[in-house]
Every structure is written in structure tokens, then in C-alpha cells.
Amino acid sequence: MSFWKDKRVLVTGGAGFLGSFVVEKLRERGCKSIFVPRGKDYNLVDMEAVKRVYEDAKPEIIIHLAAKVGGIGANRENPGKFFYDNLMMGVQMMEVGRQVDIEKFVAIGTICAYPKFTPVPFKEENIWNGYPEETNAPYGLAKKMLLVQSQAYRQQYGFNSIFLLPVNLYGPRDNFDPESSHVIPALIKKCIDAMEETIPSITVWGTGKPTREFLYVEDVAEGILLATEKYNKSDPVNLGAGFEISIKDLVELITKLTGFKGDIIWDVTKLDGQPRRMLDTSRAEKEFGFKARTSFEEGLKKTIDWYLSSKKK
């Protein structure tokens, strides 16, 4: 608690899905000075806007969550934009932070930065052993450049920055837009829409064989703040739950929890994405005591409940 008492904290992306929980947890920890830049006021792809946000916020700590993100479809349609926007936001935010000598920069990477065929569970030292899965490689590589920058700036300037690698997130306030949502909100929406409109089946992309790991959004937010408080190295750190589930089993679990009893049609013309994803989470526990607390089924129930209540508003 005392760590945050008089700190001025800038949270890019603080109005977004993950960011809103990070901001809530900062307030719970007694942080009084939190600056959340909005996209309409500060386009962080533009260097002048980055300089202006630093002048306006006068931060001591940056938690850089802002990102251009989406599922496989959105990544395939916007590889150039996802690369450029994510690269420029991160690189410029860290560079100006170095120039004004902030106390700490917390960069949030992505599991998409790992090579396509990384041995499971993914260990941080394997991050450079191959090219990422093609459908989201531009996004993953843009975010991975923040790791290079973090390590280079610590080496040359003694700049205190850290790089965290969260696994796929889910939870209340997630993006349920079918054009850009990730797999869990997309499946929840499909099941609930089908029941409301008495549609007898839902269509799911791929074969159902790939595995994924998911981390509840409040757990991720807690991990980010623990790392900010206690971790001061540029070695990357995974944030995960330490389990994997096949997409087929995930579909069965979501249909059970939503009550959808119709048919599942697998569209095998659509890409599966990376074959397997699961993180080794031992470094986060060793370095700053982070361990996921929310069981997967409990987290899914909370997400479904939130979505149903949000539809009524």
C-alpha cells in the first residue's frame, strides 16, 4: 500500500478491458494520482501526443497497456496497422519516459510474441527460438520490440523498465464485438444469441484441436501491480494460470454454462492459429509472488453473468 501512496501513475489503455481493472486495483491500494489518457485526446501513435501526455500527467510510473488488438480475423485483416500502431505507441512511450527520467516503465507484451512451435509450457528463455504464429506475428513482434528496447535502455541508460507476457485474457467488460472479439467472448455471444433467436446451431472456427490457456482479468491486473511493486529486471516474465484447454473442450464448457443445447458446426476452412499455448508461470511466482486465484469455471460464470446483465442495460 505504501508503495503507491504518493505516486503519480499514467495508465495507457486505462479505460479499456484490462486497464479498468488495473485502475480499480490502484485505487484500492491507495493510489490517488492516476492519469488515464483517452484516445480522442491523445493519439499515442503520434510522437507529439506522447510528449503532451507526459507533460500533462507528469508521471513517475507508466503502466503501458494501450494496444491495438483483436482475434485471428482482425489480425489477418489489419497486419500492417496492428504492427505499426503497437510498435509506435510502445517505442515512443518508453523513449519519452527515458528522456524525462521516470521512475519505472511497465511494458505489457503478449503471448503472441512466442514462436509458433514453442515447447509447452512456454518458458521465457524460449521467446527468441523461432518466428511467431503467422496470423498474429506482426502484432506479436511489434510488442516484442518493447522487450528489446527495455533491455537495451537498461543496459545503456540504467532505465528501470520491465516486460510482462500475459496469456489470453477473459472476464467481465471484455470485447464482445464479433468483428474483433477473442474466442471466449465470441463463443459466449454466439451461444446466447442462438438461444434468444432460437437458432439450432452455432458455427465455430477451425478444428477444435488447438489448446489455449486463459487468465481471468482481475488476476492479470493483480499480477501487473505486484510486478510494478516488486520486480526490477528486464528479463521477461510470463503471467498465466498454468493450464491448457482444447478449443473443443472450451466450446463444450461454454455451451454447458450458457445452457445452449444446439449443434456445433466446425468450419475447418478457417485457421486454427497456434497449435498449443500454455505458459510456465514459475518465474512470476518466484520473483514477485504472483499466482492466479480464479478457477476457470468460476471466471467463465462471472463473464457470462456480466454479459447477460450488460445486454439488459
99-118 pLDDT per residue, tens? 999 999 999 999 999 999 99
Q: What would the pLDDT profile of 160-199 be if each residue is shown by its tens digit?
A: 999 999 999 999 999 999 887 889 999 999 999 999 999 9
The answer to whether domain 2-173+214-242+276-294 has CATH 3.40.30.10 is: no
Pairwise CA distance, residues 44 & 247, whole Å: 35
The verdict on whether 131 is a catalytic residue reads no
- Residues 6 or more apart whose CB falls under 8 angstroms from that of 256 comprise none
When pLDDT is cut at 50, 70 and 90, the band that residue 1 belongs to is: low
Choose the catalytic residue: 54, 139, 231, 307: 139
Spell out the residues 6+ positions from residue 202 whose beta carbon is closer than 8 angstroms to its own. 187, 190, 191, 194, 260, 262, 263, 264, 265
Across the range 284-289, mean pLDDT stands at: 98
Map residue 226 onto helix, strand or coil.
Answer: helix
For the chain, what are the domain ranges? 2-173+214-242+276-294
